[in-house]
Amino acid sequence: MATNPYNGGYYQPYNTYGSQQYGYGLGDFAQTPLGGQYLEDNHDAAFTRYLANMGYNPTTNQGDFARQQFGKVDDAFKAAQATNPFLKFTDYLNGVNGQIQNQWNSMTYQQRGENPGMFGIRARTIPR
């Protein structure tokens, strides 16, 4: 069973995390062969970066739902890699773009943990 990729804190895509002291700008290291290999070896880190770059907030129901899809996405990638052994996880994630959002949109508001009537005006019938 896959672990939750967000355990241990939140990733902020616009934070350099001190990489500039080593000569790397924002996200530059991930574009290098060594950085790319790191993400291929650590699918959970690649998925965390993907979700953050897509704008999923990890403290919302939608972000929580997206994080829970990691195991399914990773399993689907492994199945796709059986067809194309040269497929990279980061490339596969780019193809997943929109599927998580479509799944979220197809859920009812109850499934999403929303209660739209919570702040609405309550109607009351007064007998005459």
Residue 62 lies in a domain: yes
C-alpha torsion angle, residues 98, 72, 37, 91 (rounded to 10): -30
Residue 93 lies in a domain: yes
Long-range contacts of 68-73 (CB under 8 A, 24+ apart): 68/4, 69/100, 69/103, 70/2, 70/4, 70/5, 70/43, 70/44, 71/1, 71/2, 73/47, 73/100
Within-domain flag for 5? no
- Cα separation, 128 vs 126, in Å, equals 6
Instruction: Output DSSP code: residue 9.
Output: S
Residue 111 within any structural domain of the chain: no
Considering the entire predicted model, what is its pTM? 0.72
If one counts the domains in the chain, the total is 1
The boundaries of the domain holding residue 58 are: 19-106
Is residue 14, in this structure, part of any structural domain at all?
no
Digit-by-digit pLDDT tens for the chain (128 residues) are 344 444 334 666 666 666 666 565 656 777 788 888 888 899 998 898 888 888 888 788 888 899 999 999 999 999 999 999 999 998 899 888 788 889 888 988 888 888 766 666 666 667 77
Residue 53 belongs to some domain of the structure: yes
